[in-house]
Each structure stands twice: as C-alpha cells, then as structure tokens.
A and B are shown apart, each in its own frame.
Chain A
Amino acid sequence: MSDNLLELDHVTMKFGGVTALDDVTFAIRRGEILGLIGPNGAGKTTCFNVVTGVYAATSGGVHFDGTSLAGLKRFQITKRGIARTFQNIRLFPDMTAVENVMVGADANHRTSVGGALLGLPRHHREEAEGRNTAMELLTFMGIADRAGDAARNLPYGYQRRLEIARALATKPQLLCLDEPAAGFTPAEKVELMDLIRKIRAQGYTVLLIEHDMSLVMGVTDRIVVLDFGKVIATGTPSEVQDNPAVVAAYLGVPDDDA
C-alpha cells in the first residue's frame, strides 16, 4: 500500500479553448490535510470535479487507493471513498437536515425496492444506522439542534456545516472541502479549521480548497498552489509562503520565468 491515497497524474482539462488544468500532477498522503490554493479561476474547483468524476479529464489519470478512477460513475467514486462539498452550497433544500445526512449515509446501504416493500430486517437495521450516523454527525458539527428543519431554512453557517456532515456520512477515506469557510467571519473560520483538524484526527484525509492564505497556513500539512491551471508550487506551508512564484501569483506580479 502506497503512502499516497490520491494521485493526479498529468491531468489536463480543457473546456473548448480554456485550459482549466494544465498537466497537473500531485498526490495526497494518507492522513494529511492538503491545502489546494490559488487565485480566482486557477482551476481548484475543476480539480475537485475531475477527481469526483463530474468531468472526465481531457488527458491524464486519477488514481485512488492504488486503482484508476477512469470510467467510474460519480456515485461509484463516492462509494470508493471520496466525498466532497460544494463551493456553492448544494444541499437538498426541501429535505430536513437529518434527511440530507441520511442520503449520504445511504451510500453504505443496500436496501432497495424489494427490501423496503417487504420491510426486511436489513431495511430496519440500515434505517436505524442511518439515523444514528446522521445524528452523531450533526452533533459533531454542532448543528443537531436544527436536525428536523428543512435545509433551506437553516442559517448560512449551518448549511455549510451540513454539507460537511452529509459528505462525512458516506464514510469517505478522502474528504474534499471546496472553500468550506467562504462567507464566514474570522471567528467562525477559526472554529471551522479546528473542526477540520478534529476530522483529520478521526482518521480522514482532507483535501481543502481555501482562498484565505493565512487560514490554510495554520491548518494544512502541505500545500499545492495552482495558477492558471498549472501547479506552481508544492510544499509545507512555510516553504510555499516564501516561494517567489506563489507570492507573484497572489500579488499579480509576473514571475521571473514568465
């Protein structure tokens, strides 16, 4: 078993004339929190979309836990152990918070029409398991008090947390968070980063997209920096912070080899 949980191997993603990812290669090690940063339009979300099967890469491959993800459907990739949240919240708005999380938990269940119609023991067992998982996760995320409310009626911060709870309910090995703290106050951001550390402590590997550089520095083990679809730096937070190419990309100054 290799140290790497997920490997992107020379991934290129083109949308017509736009090259959103240009020969991207990096890996996530088991148990780490990897930050994926870069300016607007750098290709971070596209990276998530390729990994989770939303888009098929124009060229290159993605390997998860030693096997290629090529040709798998999105739900199969999720069942393999990759779960994600969305930059623009995409909950099931008219379903309750707890139901949203139970949909995630269902990824590990097998009851289908026959089992439900006959009320087989497995159906009851899985329903109970789903409820427990959902309530535990809502409690863990600190939003259990609104478990019975429709997702669309929850405050913004609750919705962001609910997305994480729903993703965790699929019992992933790799959790991909796309700007989970977007729109949070600084205090809320710090709180969320604590939560992400706790999630990692439970044994999850986390891939974190975040805009706020200072925030990423505090919580990540390593950082990959994207700019115009290219990986311009990889390393520990302090290495990346001092990298002139990264400074240039963030400050909009053309770097030396441009």
Chain B
Amino acid sequence: MSLSESLRSVTSGSYSVSRLGEALAKQSRSVRWSFGAICILALYLLPWWPSVPVLGWIVETPGTSFPSVLTDQVVIFVLVALGLNVVVGLAGLLDLGYVGFYAVGAYTVAILSSQHANLPWLLCMPIAVLVSMIAGVILGTPTLRLRGDYLAIVTLGFGEIIRITANNVEWLGDSRGISNIATPPSIGPLKFTVLDAKPYYFLGFTTILIVIFLLRRLENSRVGRSWNAIREDEDAAELMGVDTFKFKLWAFAIGAAIGGLAGSLYAGKVQFINPNNFPLQLSILFLAAVVLGGAGNMWGAVVGGALVAWMPERFRGFADKRVFVFGVALVLVMVFRPQGLIPRKIRKERWLESWKPSTEADLGGKE
C-alpha cells in the first residue's frame, strides 16, 4: 500500500467514523449501548489484533512488540491527548510544555517508590496526580492572567525547566535517572511484570475509559460550557458572568492531573526513567496528537493520540526516514482535514426535540 493510499484510507476512515457517529446518534439507547459495549470489548482485546488476518497486517508494528507499543506509547499518548485537549481544545489555551506535567507524574512515582521511599505504586499514583495538579495550579496562577502568546512561551519554558532540573539535581537522580520503580500490584491473575505487557494495557485502557467518563461529565456541565465560551470569546464570556480565570485554572489543573496520571502509568510500566524520556519534542508530539485528531473533540483526541503513538512504530520499516514519513503524513492529514480527523462538533441538544414550554412565554425566574 502506498503512502498516499494509506493516507486516503485514514482520512476517509475518519469521514466514515464521523458518519457512523451521526448514524448511531439516531439509534435507540439500547442499540447505542450495545455498540459501545462491543467496541470496548474489541479494544480490550487489542493486544491480540496482530494475530487476526488482514487487521493484523494493518496494525502490526514490525520490530517492536505490539503489546508494549500499546502500553508504552498508545495508552500514554491517548491519555495525554485527552488531558491536553481540555487545555487546548476546550479552554483554548496553548500549552507547549505539557510534557512537564507528565514528567512530574512519573518522577513523583519514581521518588516515592524507589529513590527516597518505598511506597506502593497504588499509593504513589494518586499522589502523583495531585502533585501534577498542584504544579498546574502553581504554573497557571501567574500565567493565566496573561493573554495569548505569553502562556505558550511560559509553558514552553516550564517543560524545559522540569527536564533540566531533573537532569541536574542529584536528589532527582540527575542524568542517570531513577530505576527500580514500583509496579502496580497484581489484580488476581493479572501480574504486572516485565514479561507481559498485557496487564498494563488492561490497566491503561481502563484508566482511559474512566477519564473519558469523567471528562464527559465535565463537558456536559456548566464547566464545559464555560470553557467553550472562554475559547470562543474570552471578553464576552467574562462580561456574561463567567469567572474566566477560575475556569482557565481548572482546565489547566485538570489537564495537568491527567498528564501526571499518564506519567505515573508510564513510570510503573518501564520502571526506569531518566530526563531523556521527557524531551521538548514530546510536548510537540502531544500537541500534534490533539490537533491531528481534532482539537475540542474528545474522540478526536483519542484517535489522534493513538495514531501519533502508533504510526512511527508501524513505519519502522522506513528505518531512519520514518520520522520524515511520519511528518509528511501529519502535514497531509492537516491539508486534507484542517480541523483534524474528527473535528469539533456543534453540540446536539438532544433534549431540545422534546422540550415543551412550561408556561406562557415570559421572562421567567425574575424576582
């Protein structure tokens, strides 16, 4: 399959994903739920996809174990894209240093479970999420009062500061990094060892599902509405009573927390981290995942994250040209689908169809 062919199939695939979504929206609740359940089941079985005929040939990652591509790359990128999408896609804040929060999460687990203490992973993980969130608040409090480009520059600096600090501070393991990081505890037959990546995948995928569930709640609430309003017109939003600073800070903190969560999963999987795991380039790739998938659309973030993580492994056959091939693929997708593979949608207010005026039209609610 030539590159342009595969690209066309990717973009037309995303058209049909959008159309599939529309078709599904028309179906009854039970049809939608069963479809969702089948998809989730199929995705839980993802580690075995390479042994399915045809499908296996498409998804396989020559030269790298497919399950560990899933755990070390795909799960991480999908989570990170979901978190960054809150910041960039929903609230409209350009964050170029997102890798910093990812690093904070990973380092928190590393320090607490290996370098300076022996806490179990299960305890380190929530602490890592909290610490990343606090890092987000600390970085956001002074910078979110500024508008536009300042934020991009300050966050860019933040990502680098975290990496350089880790590289130079002995307490953080300096350039040698931290090894022997704790793994998640076994759950019944699921043993988290270096021998088998699959349990990590199940854990990671479950985490993604939970994050999606929670983010959907936020999107369908006053919080999500405020983020949208801020992105569309920050001044108008504030003049309509939106506490813009508070909601921008929330977006930043939630994004940071999800980034930290991804970092803690990564640390628990690879068990050894060093500053080179957190280069500036990763921030750019994270952003590319969100933009490629479709900023502002959670499903876009999922697809974008998965593709950006998986494509370089799929094209390993191109050897040292694979980054170039990957870059060209990104550019072409953006040319053909500038809004991303699954663009942001105008909200469908399902309740509108059944809405009945409760009383004679008056201004209601005015005391």
Q: Which chain A residues have a beta carbon within 8 Å of chain B's beta carbons? A: 52, 54, 73-75, 78-79, 83-84, 86, 90-96, 98-99, 102-104, 106-109, 111-113, 115-117, 119, 123, 126-127, 129-133, 135-137, 139-140, 147-148, 150, 166-168, 170-171, 199, 202-204
Contact = CB atoms under 8 A, between A and B. Distances in A.
B244 interface: yes
B129 to A, nearest CB: 14
A53 B60 CA distance: 58
B117 interface: no
B351 interface: yes
Nearest to B230: A92
Interface stretch (B30-38, B261-269, B341-349): B341-349
A142 to B, nearest CB: 9
A137 B363 contact: yes
B366 A202 contact: yes
A140 B359 CA distance: 11
A115 B218 CA distance: 9
A99 B228 contact: yes
A83 B242 CA distance: 12
Interface string B139-162: 000000000000000000000000
Contacts of A109: 222
B358 interface: yes
B364 interface: yes
A185 to B, nearest CB: 24
23 contacts: A78-B240, A84-B239, A92-B232, A92-B233, A95-B229, A102-B225, A103-B225, A103-B226, A104-B241, A111-B223, A112-B246, A113-B223, A117-B217, A119-B217, A123-B222, A127-B221, A133-B365, A136-B359, A139-B361, A140-B362, A150-B346, A166-B240, A167-B240
Give the top 8 A-B pairs by smallest Cβ distance, nearest first.
Answer: A107-B241, A116-B221, A92-B232, A78-B241, A139-B361, A136-B364, A90-B236, A74-B238
Interface string B243-256: 11010001000100
A52 B225 CA distance: 22
A117 B347 CA distance: 20
Chain B interface size, under 10 / 10 to 19 / 20 to 34 / 35 or more: 35 or more
A167 to B, nearest CB: 8
B221 to A, nearest CB: 4
Contacts of B366: 171, 202-204
A84 B357 CA distance: 26
B346 A96 contact: yes
B241 A136 contact: no
A96 B222 contact: no
Q: Which of B221, B232, B361, B366 has the most CB of A within 10 A?
A: B221
B235 interface: yes
Nearest to B353: A148
